[in-house]
Amino acid sequence: MLPYEEIHKLYRKSPKFDEFIPLESQPIYATVALLAALAFIGLAMTLPAKASGASFALQSVKYTALSLIGSLFMGIAIVFLTNSFGVYA
């Protein structure tokens, strides 16, 4: 275990962290990503009812694509939400 003085020296020598997206704007990005995720997932859920005449393969591809996009936006929203609320709490 390193003594406090040595840890403090290492801390002072370490490069400064530059945030990619400012913490103050992350709740806004989280809200937008969450709304986009809900929209894409909702579209995927209602797609089979709208395209009843289309082939099963085409319906599956559309459902998979919309679900994948919705899941990606949901993941982004979760990261931004936990980042902003985890820091502020």
pLDDT (tens digit per residue) in 75-87: 999 999 998 877 6
pTM of the model: 0.73
Residue 35 lies in a domain: yes
Residue 41 lies in a domain: yes
pLDDT at 42: 95
Residue 15 lies in a domain: no
Residue 13 lies in a domain: no
Q: End-to-end distance of the chain based on CA atoms, in angstroms?
A: 30
Q: How many domains does the chain have?
A: 1
Residue 14 lies in a domain: no
34 is in which domain, residue-wise? Answer: 23-88
More reliable by pLDDT, 25 or 19 = 25
Asked if 33 and 79 count as a contact pair (C-beta separation under 8 A), the reply is no
Residue 3 lies in a domain: no
Residue 75 lies in a domain: yes
pLDDT (tens digit per residue) in 20-63: 888 889 999 999 999 999 999 999 999 877 767 778 888 899 99
Residue 30 lies in a domain: yes
